[in-house]
Amino acid sequence: MSSHDEYLQRALALAADSVEQGGRPFGAVIVRNDEIVAEAVNTIHLNGDPTAHAELNGIREVSAHLGSAALRDCTVYASGQPCSMCLSAMYLTGVKAVYFANGNQDGEEYKLSTAAIYQQLQLPLEQQSLPIHHLPQLNGRKLYERWAQKQS
């Protein structure tokens, strides 16, 4: 068994424990330099936070521990295919790789697939089912300019 399989088995075990505790079947393990630096489960049922997915909870934990939002040396192992929100966070933090055990097709019959969201995000904004409106403001870019000045 490869280390990838071992980390995925750990993510699945976390997900199984979550189900037994009344949670959703999602667990995540974050590994850095062959060491587990975070383990997390989906905690929406505990705090009502719709962003409390296992992967995001793990990213929050390791970011706080490292004191950085940059996770370039980290690999995420997830029990299920990361949703677009979690995957976006992984891109934003620079995670180097992602492995998952169950794909969207595995969760489809249990209403645990996010494939429809991925499909929506591939459409131009004006064709997506969620109305998204870009209303540029005269002073909007000044905020970005001020931020850029403070970075120098």
Q: Return the active site residues.
A: 55
Tell me how far apart the alpha carbons of residues 101 and 95 are, in angstroms, rounded to a whole number: 18
Q: Identify whether the C-beta of residue 48 lies closer than 8 Å to the C-beta of residue 67.
A: no
Closest CA to 43 of 19, 9, 71: 19
Q: 81 exposed, middle or buried (CB, 10 Å; 0-12, 13-18, 19+)?
A: buried
